[in-house]
Amino acid sequence: MNDLDAYRRQLVPPINIDESIVARGNSCSENDSAHGLSVEMIEHLKLLATAVCCADDSVVITTANLEFPGPAIVFVNKAFTRMTGYGPTEAIGRTPRILQGEKTDRTILERMKLDLKDGGVFYGQTINYRKDGSEFVNEWHIEPIYNDRQQITHYLAIQRDVTERQNQHNRLIYEANHDSLTGLYNRGYFITELQKAIDRTQNCQDYLFGLLFMDVDRFKLINDSFGHQAGDQLLIEIGDRLQSCIRPQDILSRWGGDEFAIIIDDIQDLSEISQLTNKIQQTIKKPIILGEDHLETVTSLSIGIALSSMGYNCSADMLRDADTALYRAKDRGKGSYAIFTQAMHHRVRQQLQLETDLRYALKREELLLNYQPIISMKTNRIVGCEVLLRWEHGTLGLISPEQFIPMAEETGLIVKMGDWVIEQACIQAKQWECIYQDAPPFLSVNLSTKQLINQGIVEKIKEILEATKCSPELIRFELTETAIAESTEVAVTTLRKIKDLGIRLCIDDFGTGHSSLSRLSCFPIDTLKIDRSFIQGMSASEHQTKIAYAIVKLAQSLGMETIAEGIENLEQFCQLKSWGCELAQGFLMAQPIASKIFQEVLNQNLIYPLEC
């Protein structure tokens, strides 16, 4: 007897047939050994038994008893043995509970029992266990078997091991919901969970949760300095540290880039927010070792917080407010946090309106230029001026440059506005050149980072010079150290092309940015402007005085001229003059003034009474 016969005999027991009867073509009688079955019927049954036994899917037939201890197995095929490890002799007579274990879903079993009691067909899936104790995911299809009197006598269960399919499905779900770098939940999953938490607040008035929105301080600097691989390593480490700070019910996500977000679930006391935030900051601030070279770095997080008590209906609004709070935290300095308030929301709305108004400021002719005199320390006469942009808002009046210039930088409006300033400065310089032919004043114009890296900046400047017929020697561009440091390669090429046009170049606020002495010699710079912070600190700090002195001497050694800005008293003026500083700018001489007033001062050929 081969292996197949052992399974087939469960369905078709041995039957002795008189071959002479079959040869004569006579049918079997009830008393014959064929039990009333014809040869054709017997062969048909054998064929069916073979098909069932050889089927790829597991086939199990049980009795109809659904009450404890449950139905008994009366048949299993070869696929059942392959799937479970139980042979026919080990399975028949026992209940299907031999496949159940710790992770088997009892609710699925209860539903199966109810469906079958009602004479229905059951479809389901749960974890079952093989003979050796290993788990597999079992997909069931169970149908009742009826006799001629429409009574259920047995159940037919077709089963399939779908473990690999389920694993693949689980992998797809995991990948859809998790960040590939850190293994944390991703943005899509987080938004879904955030909305669930918001919905819960609608049904439970006592439920309170918080949203923390965070980004890594100085991440760009670290990423650019140590490389992207080190940057990825930093993000992974920060993700791990954040995970160690939160409770199992809280949800942590890598939002994207260097941003992370946390849902703090079921807050009982608002002090939990500050406690968690402080714990996070202390954990993140510990040194982190990066890369194969084991470079040590320290960073921190800026954190914006929104609370569900503000009464949100959708996740987008809460995320917006947490992001607003994040920017407020950044304004306070690195490693800070801020909780969103209605007052903050009002300020944001005002800021957005102001940003919209700024977009139309040029068209509405609300932008204007002021000029602050720059004098020669040798002659005490005006030799030039710094061009300063001002915004006279139609309803709000004069808007501070500290308020609208960063806004213009952030939105990119600074490029268009900067082109307008250059054009107006060149027009003004040409007018004064015609009036003061012997000694026309130079105009110093601030050039932003975005302008400097704009590919068309050199051609634009050339076009303006040609259109206004302005002498390039009358125009100077001031750039901050940061503007040059952030775009070194681009800056060197662009600045040399600008210098070739005949325009002089000046580093503004020197001593406060990111430039180094070795890199300073790479740039075609003519002038160093000493930052006002050093000038103002001269009378109170010997250290500040030495820095100012060092900058003057550095410029002299490099063949550059120096401008001291922010001079407010004669003592400062005389000290700088004694060191050899050439040019002075500040409230001691004059505040920024309109072009008409500046021209009146020029007409007076004024010598400032600055006797040392």
Give the pLDDT score at 53: 79
Calculate the alpha carbon distances from 464 to 363, 419, 420, 457, 468 in Å.
19, 9, 10, 11, 6
31: pLDDT strictly greater than 50: no
Say how many C-beta atoms besides its own lie within 10 A of residue 7's C-beta: 23
Q: Which of 246, 215, 467 is CA-nearest to residue 337?
A: 215
Tell me which of 11 and 127 has the higher pLDDT.
127
Give the pLDDT score at 515: 54
Q: Which of 600, 554, 604, 546 is CA-nearest to residue 575?
A: 546
Q: Which of 281, 278, 212 is CA-nearest to residue 241?
A: 281
- Classify domain 353-602 by CATH architecture: Alpha-Beta Barrel (3.20)
Q: Provide mean pLDDT across the span 258-263.
A: 96
Give the pLDDT score at 19: 36
Q: pLDDT category, 20, cuts 50, 70, 90?
A: very low
E strand spans, 541-582: 561-565
Strands ordered across the beta sheet of 301-307: 251-256, 259-264, 210-216, 301-307, 337-339
CA 516 to centroid of chain Cα atoms: 32
Give the pLDDT score at 37: 63
Calculate the alpha carbon distances from 540 to 106, 492, 576 in Å.
80, 37, 15
Give the pLDDT score at 5: 54
Say how many C-beta atoms besides its own lie within 10 A of residue 412's C-beta: 11
Q: Provide mean pLDDT across the span 71-86.
A: 93
Say how far apart CA 155 and CA 141 lie, in whole Å. 10
DSSP state, residue 593: E
127: pLDDT strictly greater than 90: yes
Residues 592/371, Cβ–Cβ less than 8 Å = yes
**pLDDT tens per residue across span 424-458:** 999 999 999 999 998 999 999 999 888 888 889 99
30: pLDDT strictly greater than 80: no
Give the pLDDT score at 26: 39
Q: pLDDT category, 513, cuts 50, 70, 90?
A: low
Using a pLDDT cut of 70, give the percent of the chain over it: 91
Give the pLDDT score at 33: 42
**pLDDT tens per residue across span 284-341:** 999 998 877 788 888 999 999 999 999 999 999 999 999 999 988 988 888 999 999 8
Domain map of the chain by residue range?
3-167, 178-340, 353-602
Q: pLDDT category, 173, cuts 50, 70, 90?
A: very high
Residues 86/58, Cβ–Cβ less than 8 Å = no
Q: pLDDT category, 22, cuts 50, 70, 90?
A: very low
Residues 258/181, Cβ–Cβ less than 8 Å = no
Give the pLDDT score at 439: 92
**pLDDT tens per residue across span 464-495:** 999 999 999 999 999 987 767 655 666 788 89
Tell me which of 245 and 344 has the higher pLDDT.
245
Return mean pLDDT, the chain.
88
Give the pLDDT score at 52: 79
Give the pLDDT score at 440: 96
DSSP string for residues in 217-255: TTHHHHHHHH-HHHHHHHHHHHHHHHHHHS-TTSEEEEE
Residue appearing with tokens 């260097």: 258
Strands ordered across the beta sheet of 122-129: 73-76, 58-63, 152-161, 135-146, 122-129
Q: pTM for the full model?
A: 0.59
Tell me which of 1 and 251 has the higher pLDDT.
251
65: pLDDT strictly greater than 50: yes
Residues 30/38, Cβ–Cβ less than 8 Å = no
Q: pLDDT category, 179, cuts 50, 70, 90?
A: very high
Q: pLDDT category, 518, cuts 50, 70, 90?
A: low
Q: Provide mean pLDDT across the span 410-418.
A: 91
Give the pLDDT score at 522: 74
Q: Provide mean pLDDT across the span 215-226.
A: 86
E strand spans, 19-134: 58-63, 73-76, 122-129
Tell me which of 563 and 610 has the higher pLDDT.
563
Q: pLDDT category, 13, cuts 50, 70, 90?
A: low
511: pLDDT strictly greater than 70: no
Q: Which residues contact 155 (CB under 8 A, 6 or more apart)?
A: 61, 62, 63, 64, 71, 116, 142, 143, 144, 145
Give the pLDDT score at 28: 39
Give the pLDDT score at 126: 94
Among 63-72, 128-137, 529-538, name the most confident range. 128-137
Give the pLDDT score at 480: 84
**pLDDT tens per residue across span 147-162:** 888 899 999 999 999 9
18: pLDDT strictly greater than 80: no
Mention the CATH class of domain 178-340.
Answer: alpha beta
Q: Provide mean pLDDT across the span 525-533.
A: 91
Q: Provide mean pLDDT across the span 121-147.
A: 94
Q: Provide mean pLDDT across the span 16-43.
A: 48
Give the pLDDT score at 93: 93
Tell me which of 586 and 15 has the higher pLDDT.
586
Say how far apart CA 460 and CA 476 lie, in whole Å. 15
- Does 3-167 carry CATH code 3.40.50.12780? no
Give the pLDDT score at 240: 96
17: pLDDT strictly greater than 50: no
